[in-house]
């Protein structure tokens, strides 16, 4: 099933019309969006979905997908909700959509796609990393993640999350984007993903970052409450190519959704 989201006006230029795709992969529901333009793959994090990327997708074109456990893609309980499991799924998704050479943009847990991309580094033309989970040594999980990683406590904490509570910990626009799909399937996916990723697992997953030699842009909010901005520089140092670091004073975890100048800068870089 396909539906088209009509282009809106942005300033003096019309944005690109996007198409919604609801089909199947491995016999399970799959939701993704596409728009004509640059060959960009957008990968979201927790607790969001491909809706997160509409402001960029409408400027650059490309593909944005709901990862398993999120949005409208499968939430089956036996999926491997780990960095490696998502990597294997992304292999099948790339084949499903005929992805060739591409530009990659990741945010938050979308950073797991960096480990996947490193295995096909020759196909990566450009790379934008925005406040992404560090696949690097030295990271320790933030307070909310530590609760989620704790058996029983995590189930209670996430199960009691209301729409109001979500709006207290996320920007209201992000909370409203995530809430319609924040069901038991997504909650299970979040808990399993966090519990699969001890600090040494994150560092191991980033062993191939040096193979990514494409030009890179690393964007980080200096006031990110979850991921310290020092990891912006650490990511740039770990990549194998030239990387520009943009650290944003006063900005938080969702900087590109809250500041038009940051949105425009990322769009210009990938498009």
Residue pLDDT, tens place only, 91-111 = 999 999 999 999 999 999 999
Domain 2-270 in CATH 3.40.50.1820? The answer is yes
How many C-beta atoms surround the C-beta of residue 231 within 10 A? 23
Cis peptide before 168 (omega within 30 of 0): no
Cα 43–Cα 263–Cα 257 angle in degrees, nearest 5: 70
What proportion of the chain, given as a percentage, has pLDDT over 90? 93
What proportion of the chain, given as a percentage, has pLDDT over 70? 95
Q: What is the mean pLDDT of residues 246-253?
A: 96
> What is the pTM (predicted TM-score) of this model?
0.94
| Sign of the alpha-carbon dihedral angle for 184, 69, 230, 42 | negative
Residue with the bigger pLDDT between 3 and 120: it is: 120
Q: Phi then psi for 108, rounded to 5 degrees? A: 55, -130
Which candidate, 65, 63, 75, 62, places its Cα nearest to that of 29? 75
Rounded distance between C-alpha atoms, residue 131 and residue 228, angstroms: 9
Q: Where are the domains of the chain?
A: 2-270
């Amino acid at each position: 099933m396909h539906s088209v989201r009509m282009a809106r006006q942005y300033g003096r230029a019309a944005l690109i019309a996007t198409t919604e795709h609801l089909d199947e992969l491995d016999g399970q529901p799959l939701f993704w969006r596409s728009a004509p333009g640059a060959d960009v793959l957008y990968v979201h994090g927790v607790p969001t979905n491909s809706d997160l990327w509409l402001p960029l997708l409408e400027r650059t074109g490309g593909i944005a997908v709901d990862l398993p456990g999120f949005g409208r893609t499968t939430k089956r309980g036996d999926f491997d909700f780990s960095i490696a499991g998502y990597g294997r799924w992304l292999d099948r998704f790339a084949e499903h959509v005929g992805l060739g050479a591409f530009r990659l943009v990741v945010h938050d847990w979308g950073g797991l796609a960096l480990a996947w991309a490193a295995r096909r580094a020759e196909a990566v033309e450009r790379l934008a990393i925005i406040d992404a989970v560090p696949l690097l040594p030295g990271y320790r999980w933030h307070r909310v993640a530590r609760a989620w990683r704790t058996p029983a406590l995590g189930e209670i904490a996430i199960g009691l999350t209301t729409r109001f509570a979500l709006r207290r910990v996320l920007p209201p626009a992000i909370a409203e984007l995530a809430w319609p799909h924040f069901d038991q399937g997504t909650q299970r996916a979040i808990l399993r993903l966090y519990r699969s990723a001890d600090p040494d697992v994150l560092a191991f997953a980033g062993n191939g970052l040096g193979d990514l030699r494409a030009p890179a842009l690393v964007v980080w909010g200096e006031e990110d409450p979850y991921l310290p901005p020092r990891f912006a520089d650490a990511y740039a140092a770990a990549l194998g190519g030239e990387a520009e670091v943009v650290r944003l004073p006063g900005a938080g975890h969702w900087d590109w959704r809250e500041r038009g100048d940051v949105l425009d800068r990322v769009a210009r870089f990938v498009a």
